[in-house]
A and B are shown apart, each in its own frame.
Chain A
C-alpha cells in the first residue's frame, strides 16, 4: 500500500475524527451493497435449480444443466444478434459521429452550430417507450405513415412491418443511430476543440485543402479518443440496449429471429414459467464475459492513452 506510512500512525484517536465522514457515506455504501453486491453473489443461481421457496442460496445445485439447455437451444441466435448489432452500432456510430463532429465544428455561424448540436442531442433524451410509439406511427401496418403515405404514393403494396424480420436489422440500426449519434458527436466535438489550431494554420500556409486537413490532422489527432471509445464499447459488446430491442419492435414474437438479444432473452426467459434457469445462465455468461472484456479493453486503453483509461 502506498500510504503505509499513514496507516502506521493510524490510531483510534485519529480514526475517531473521521467517524462523521464514514457515517455520511454509510447510506451510500449500504445502498451499493444491496443494489450491486448482493446480486453479484446471486449469479450462482445459474448453477441451481431455482425454487422460490428455498431462495437463491438454498436451492439445490444442478451443475451445468441450465447452460446445457441454453447452449443447445438459444445461445447461437442471441449471441449472434447481440454481437452483430453491436459491431454495426460501433462502426456506424463512430463514422457518422466523427463526420458530423467535423462538419459541425466547421460551421461558420455560431447560432447554426448551436442549433445543429441541440438537434442531434435531442433524441438522446427521449425515453425508448416514446420512441417505440414514434416508430409505430411510421410503421404500423394499418395506420402507419410509411404504408399510407409513402408506399401508397409509390403504388406499392403495404408491408406488415411488425411481422417481417428481414427489415428489422435496418430499422433498429437506424433507430439506434438516430437516438445515439449525438452522444458520440458531442464527445468528438470536444476532442476536435482540443486540437492545436497552429497545425491547421501551418497546413493552410502550405496550401492544404480542407479535405487534406481533415485526413492529415483532424482524424489522426482524434485517434486516441477513437480507440478509447471503441475499446469501451467493445467491453460492452455482450450488452444490448434492452429498450431498443424490446420496446421498438413492440415485443413482437414474429420478429424474434432478428430482435432477440441477450438482454431481451434474459427478461423473457425469466418471466416465462420454468425459465429462470436458462435466463440466469445467459445472464451469468453476460456478466462474466462482460467483466473480462471490460478489464481487457481497459488494459489496451491504458497502453494507448493513460489519462482516458477508466482505471
Chain B
C-alpha cells in the first residue's frame, strides 16, 4: 500500500476508533476484576470503580477458606463440562462419520432427520415436562448434562462436511480392502485426521456447558448440584427475595448471601478459565465462528 499522507491519516483515525472499541470491549471485564479485589468498605462507600480506594484480597481468601458451596459448584461445572464435551464429541462425530460415507443406504433420509431438528423445535414447555415428568431428571447431575447440550445438528453437519472434504475417500477404501471395520477406520483414521474439527466443535460444546445456566434454572434446586453459573444465578434470586421480603431475611430463610466483593470474585473466578485459554485457542474460536459453530 502507498504511504501517502492521507493514507497515514486514515490509519491513525481507524486505529483510534478501534482502540476505543477495544477499550469498550475490555473495560467491563476490568471493572468486574477490580470490584473483586476492592475492600468491602470501599465498595459500600464509593461503589464499584475501575480503581478502588482500597484494595483487598479478602474476597478470594473467603472463597478459598469458607467457600465450600462455591468450590463445590466449581467442581460440578468442571465435571459437567468434561463429561458433556466428551459426550457431545462422541455423539456428533460418530453420526457425522456414518453420514459422510456416501454409499450408506438411507443416507439422505437420516441426514434430513438430523437436519430437521434445526428447523423446528417444540419449545421449552414440552421439553421441560418431558425431562422432568417422564425422565425424572430434576435434581440429578444428568439435568446439567443431557438436555439440549449433548448434541446438535449443527455440530454433526460441521463435522460431516469436514470429514468429507478433508479426509480422502481413497484412505477409507484402502482400509476397507485391508479388512478394517468401520469402527476401526473411525478410530484410526477419522479421529486422528479430523483433529482440528474435534478441537473446534469441542471448544464450542465446552463453552456451552461452562456457560450454561438454563438447565440449572429449570431442573436444579438442590444446592449440592449447583454449577457455578447456577450458583451465580441463585445469588441474584436470593438477593431479590431479600429485598422483596426483609422479614424472611431476618429469619434466615434464604442461604447466606456473600458480600458484594465476594459475589464479584465468584463471577470473576467463573470467567477466569475462559480468559486463560482464550489467547491460545483464539484461532479455533475464530474458525468456529466463521463456520457457524455456535451452540444450539
**Which of the segments B59-67, B163-171, B283-291 contacts the partner chain?**
B283-291
**Which of the segments A15-23, A82-90, A165-173, A299-307 contacts the partner chain?**
A15-23
Is A39 in contact with B290, judged by CB distance below 8 angstroms?
no
Choose among B101, B289, B290 the residue with the greatest number of A CB atoms under 10 Å from its CB: B289
B79 at the A interface (CB under 8 A): no
Chain B contacts of A222 at CB under 8 A?
none
**Which of the segments B14-22, B192-200, B249-257 contacts the partner chain?**
B14-22
Choose among A18, A28, A270, A311 the residue with the greatest number of B CB atoms under 10 Å from its CB: A28
Is A42 in contact with B126, judged by CB distance below 8 angstroms?
yes
Is B274 in contact with A126, judged by CB distance below 8 angstroms?
yes
A95 at the B interface (CB under 8 A): no
Number of chain A residues close to chain B: CB under 8 A: 102
Is A251 in contact with B91, judged by CB distance below 8 angstroms?
no
Choose among B14, B28, B125, B207 the residue with the greatest number of A CB atoms under 10 Å from its CB: B125
Nearest CB to that of B285 among chain A residues? A121
Is A32 in contact with B113, judged by CB distance below 8 angstroms?
yes
B191 at the A interface (CB under 8 A): no
Is B130 in contact with A36, judged by CB distance below 8 angstroms?
no
Q: Min CB distance, B282 to chain A, in Å?
A: 6
Knowing A107-B11, A267-B124, the reply to whether A250 touches B99 (Cβ < 8 A) is: no
Is B31 in contact with A145, judged by CB distance below 8 angstroms?
yes
B162 at the A interface (CB under 8 A): no
Is A112 in contact with B18, judged by CB distance below 8 angstroms?
yes
Q: How far is the CA of A279 from the CA of B130 in the complex (A)?
A: 15
Is B94 in contact with A27, judged by CB distance below 8 angstroms?
yes
User: Could you give, for residues 262-295 of chain B, a 1 whenever the CB lies within 8 Å of some chain A CB and a 0 otherwise?
Assistant: 0110010011001000110010011001100010
Q: How far is the CA of A56 from the CA of B130 in the complex (A)?
A: 9
Which one of A108, A119, A270 lies within 8 Å of B21 (CB-CB)?
A: A119
Is B124 in contact with A283, judged by CB distance below 8 angstroms?
yes
Q: Min CB distance, B235 to chain A, in Å?
A: 9
Is A129 in contact with B213, judged by CB distance below 8 angstroms?
yes
Q: Min CB distance, B6 to chain A, in Å?
A: 8
Knowing A36-B121, A103-B18, A290-B121, the reply to whether A149 touches B49 (Cβ < 8 A) is: yes
A242 at the B interface (CB under 8 A): yes
Knowing A43-B123, A118-B279, A130-B271, the reply to whether A145 touches B49 (Cβ < 8 A) is: yes
Knowing A21-B101, A126-B271, A129-B213, the reply to whether A35 touches B125 (Cβ < 8 A) is: no
A231 at the B interface (CB under 8 A): no
Q: Min CB distance, B36 to chain A, in Å?
A: 10
Q: Min CB distance, A56 to chain B, in Å?
A: 6
Q: Min CB distance, A116 to chain B, in Å?
A: 5
The contact sample of 22 A-B pairs, CB cut-off 8 A, is: A15-B105, A24-B97, A29-B110, A32-B153, A36-B117, A36-B122, A40-B122, A42-B127, A100-B18, A106-B14, A107-B18, A119-B26, A120-B25, A121-B286, A121-B289, A129-B213, A130-B267, A137-B264, A138-B31, A148-B49, A283-B123, A283-B125
6 extra interchain contacts, Cβ-Cβ under 8 A, other than A32-B114, A121-B285, A283-B126?
Answer: A29-B113, A56-B126, A106-B11, A129-B211, A147-B47, A183-B289
Which B positions have Cβ atoms within 8 angstroms of A? 1, 10-11, 14-15, 17-18, 21-22, 24-26, 28-29, 31-32, 35, 43-44, 46-50, 90-92, 94-95, 97-99, 101, 103-105, 108, 110, 113-115, 117-130, 133-134, 146-148, 150-151, 153, 156, 181-183, 186, 207, 210-214, 229, 232-233, 236-237, 240, 260, 263-264, 267, 270-271, 274, 278-279, 282, 285-286, 289-290, 294
What 4 A-B pairs have minimum CB-CB distances, sorted nearest first?
Answer: A42-B126, A148-B47, A39-B122, A127-B211
